[in-house]
Amino acid sequence: MKKVIALLIAISFTFMGCWDSIETEELGVITVIGLGIGKSNDIRVIIQEIPHEKTTTSNQSSGGGSKSSFHLYEGSGSTISEAIQRMSANEHHRLYYAHTKIIILDEELVSSKGIKPIIDFFERAPHIRLSTWVLISPIGQFDKILSKDVGIGLDTGQILEETIHNKKDNSALTITNLKDFIELFNKSGSEAYASGVSIKSKSPSDNEASSEKFYARDTAVFKDDKMVGWLKDEEYIGFSWINGYGKGAIVNIPLGDGVLSLRLVRAKSKLEPIIDNGTMKININVEIVSNIRESQVSYNFINEDIIRKIEELQSEKVKSEITTALEKSRRLNSDIFAMGSYFNMRYPDFWKGVENNWYSYYPEVKVNINVNSTIKDIGNVYKALKR
């Protein structure tokens, strides 16, 4: 018994865990970190904290919707940590970053200063999770996105997180989290990309500020550590077939006098780099499985020939989408398809030779796209509708 007590005391002194102890109510829970560019060309940090509200047992709710859903803190400095330190030194709460949901990067910052210092900061800091989403705000929207309370009682971090969860299953859009973002940036032969976020009114006719909401759309494309441009959603779809995030997307095929909607079940892609007499070729093999979701035409889908035709049309459509995305990436001169990394994996010796001026070779790489598409399910309607 004495030994046990002595050991306990010894342990408690060695580790001195008390120092880490903090009462919960002293924390300021941060959900969004925004990084922008300051007036004197330094880094500007804006964070959102969830406000402390006392839960009252009585029924009388005070005030109603006048309360803001978050508090904003702002600071700037030549580095991120300096900005954060200056900011948190003046707060009565201990700012707590472990629950950060979203990192919003200003387009202005990432296209002029680059993401290298940002990535270093987030990778080094232990308290920010790698599962935090990274979003890019277009020029001029940074302040608005971070300061706007859309008035549904939630802070921006939670709204965006839930939007992203929803969006992941229902669209082809790829939202990168911090881990993917860092990995894409670090890997030799690939470039980083991140989804964009913007704030717009719900309908163009309604210009009232209260009806504005967030949209996760478009994809920011980086080259090295600088952002070089945007991939519009239409252009981006072709890319999503390749990175495998296309699940849930709808492919529309013009058929007869109407349109057929196919919903993607599975998309698998394989990139095969080939070096043939010093010329670089790449075979992109895409396998797509989808279901018929909606048909505006009266076809009898029991007929296998029709199915085969639809599959063919789908393959063509997908192929053209991939080509569009590829052309755009060549125009931006950014290898988001990570073709370089495939060459690196297959021909490491050869890659060493081209690594440093990969972008002089990149537009010349011959790309051969093969799409193999299958229709798995035609839905509950198997006969053509009469009228």
Residues engaged in binding other proteins (CB under 8 A): 1, 4, 8, 11-12, 15, 17-18, 20-25, 27, 29, 31, 50, 52-55, 57-58, 96, 98-99, 101, 127, 129, 158
* Alpha-carbon gap, residue 77 to 94, rounded angstroms: 19
Cα distances from 249 to residues 51, 309, 317, 329, 330, in angstroms, run 37, 20, 13, 21, 24
Is the CB of 36 or the CB of 157 nearer to other proteins?
A: 157
Least distance from C-beta 165 to other proteins, angstroms?
A: 13
Is the CB of 15 or the CB of 254 nearer to other proteins?
A: 15
* Alpha-carbon gap, residue 159 to 220, rounded angstroms: 21
Distance from the first to the final alpha carbon of the chain: 88
Least distance from C-beta 333 to other proteins, angstroms?
A: 40
Least distance from C-beta 99 to other proteins, angstroms?
A: 5
Least distance from C-beta 197 to other proteins, angstroms?
A: 19
In the chain, alpha helices (H):
2-15, 80-88, 107-112, 116-124, 142-147, 156-170, 178-186, 233-243, 304-332, 339-346, 348-354, 358-361
Is the CB of 3 or the CB of 383 nearer to other proteins?
A: 3
* Alpha-carbon gap, residue 147 to 46, rounded angstroms: 9
Is the backbone of residue 292 left (phi > 0), alpha (psi -120 to 50) or beta?
Answer: beta
CA 364 to chain CA centroid, nearest Å: 29
Cα distances from 304 to residues 189, 307, 378, in angstroms, run 43, 5, 11
Least distance from C-beta 31 to other proteins, angstroms?
A: 7
Least distance from C-beta 69 to other proteins, angstroms?
A: 11
Least distance from C-beta 182 to other proteins, angstroms?
A: 19
Q: Which of 32, 114, 125, 44 is nearest to 79 (CA)?
A: 44
Is the CB of 101 or the CB of 217 nearer to other proteins?
A: 101
* Alpha-carbon gap, residue 224 to 137, rounded angstroms: 19
Q: Which residue has the tokens 């895409």?
A: 286
Is the CB of 100 or the CB of 295 nearer to other proteins?
A: 100
Is the CB of 34 or the CB of 246 nearer to other proteins?
A: 34
* Alpha-carbon gap, residue 185 to 116, rounded angstroms: 9
Is the CB of 8 or the CB of 275 nearer to other proteins?
A: 8
Q: Which residue has the tokens 């007869």?
A: 256
Least distance from C-beta 185 to other proteins, angstroms?
A: 25
Is the CB of 70 or the CB of 142 nearer to other proteins?
A: 70
Q: Is 134 exposed, middle or buried (0-12, 13-18, 19+ CB in 10 A)?
A: buried
